[in-house]
Amino acid sequence: MSEPLSPQNEPYAVEVEEGKSYYWCACGRSINQPYCDGSHEGTGFQPVAFTAEKTDTIFLCGCKKTGTPPFCDGSHSK
């Protein structure tokens, strides 16, 4: 499997709704960052599904190097 693309070197601050499911783009190819649009087809990557625990602003990884996908862990600053 190849390395994912890094669409930006900072997290995406996104609003999420409690109980709603989201699909984070793990390949970096989606034009709908940070969410999956199916661009991973044939790459060996799969989106990371998560359900929002509460309505809030969260920070999703933009560099695709996080150790805690889909959430930003500061890997972009290393």
Q: What is the pLDDT of residue 40?
A: 96
Residue 1 has pLDDT above 60, yes or no: no
Give the C-alpha separation, 21 to 34, whole Å.
14
Residue 11 has pLDDT above 80, yes or no: yes
Give percent above pLDDT 70 in the chain. 99
Give the C-alpha separation, 41 to 47, whole Å.
10
Give the C-alpha separation, 57 to 8, whole Å.
18
Give the C-alpha separation, 75 to 21, whole Å.
24
Q: What is the pLDDT of residue 72?
A: 98
